[in-house]
Amino acid sequence: MSQADYIFINTCKEILQDGISTKGEAVRARWEDGEEAYTIKKFGIVNRYDLSEEFPAITLRRTAIKSCIDELLWIWQKKSSNIKELNSHIWDSWADDKGSIGKAYGYQLGVKHQYKEGMMDQVDRLLYDLKTNPFSRRMITNLYVHQDLYEMNLYPCAYSVTLNVTKDQINGKLKLNAILNQRSQDVLVANNWNVCQYAVLIHMLAQVSDMLPGELIHVIADAHIYDRHIPLVEELINRPVHEAPKFIINTDIRNFYEFTPSDFELKDYITGPQIMDIPVAI
């Protein structure tokens, strides 16, 4: 069993066994038929993934690594909030007729701010600090910008990344660690998608900064399973599991902005079948 499978199964069991139902509450989300989309939720899930040991893709079902990397690059590299620059349709229901999701996600990463070292956006600030001041305790991005929330078609779910560099006490090499903070997560649909995305991000940032990937800590304030997803989750977490795949990254890339989805691969990725026709709450 991969580390990621173990963590995912335990997270789902914790929510199903110890979570709190929102049935009867005034919930925002609706199913396509208009019914309220209630959840079983658990407050304050914290999971740790050691990226030096394995890449955290679950094997219970296949995580579409190319698509989740494409979305990651759309946000972090293109700094876009227009779905016309994205090669999937996961944001279609949140976009306006021009394709924009408002001042959300990539837009916020691309806003330049004045620092004593000059004007930089949030991504370039991280890249600068990783090269010039790697032991800084101030390497943070924030997408939850309150003055712009009214112009976001969806408030950010994964909203903050904190980077921290440690030195290996044996070989002296620098390791890049990160905390991903998420206010809310649909566990069936998005859990491993987000984990894989930010694991890839750590690998990218580490490589261009001459570091090794370390730990990813994933903090979810409201981790939930929707009522119509419960049977799907129960079936999923009882499936056979496999060994973690091997993560392949193009080691020739030294510039963060030169990575493309084709520079990544999961080798020997053996999984269970996909779950088809997952009900979508919006």
Binding residues: 137-138, 183-186, 194, 224-226, 281
d(CA 138, CA 108): 18
Length of the chain: 282
Structure tokens given for 24:
């009867």
Q: Decide the pairing of beta strands 140-142 and 264-267.
A: unpaired
d(CA 65, CA 71): 10
d(CA 32, CA 37): 9
d(CA 23, CA 19): 12
Q: Which of 12, 68, 157, 196 is catalytic?
A: 157
CA distances to 54, 137, 157, 164, 236 from 134, in Å: 24, 9, 27, 8, 40
Between the two ends of the chain, the Cα-to-Cα distance in Å is 33
d(CA 216, CA 211): 15
Q: Decide the pairing of beta strands 118-120 and 264-267.
A: unpaired
197 closest CA partner among 11, 40, 66: 66
Q: Decide the pairing of beta strands 20-21 and 39-50.
A: antiparallel
Residue 157 is a catalytic residue = yes
- Annotated binding site for dUMP: which residue ranges? 137-138, 183-186, 194, 224-226
d(CA 278, CA 258): 34
Q: Which active-site residues does the annotation give?
A: 157
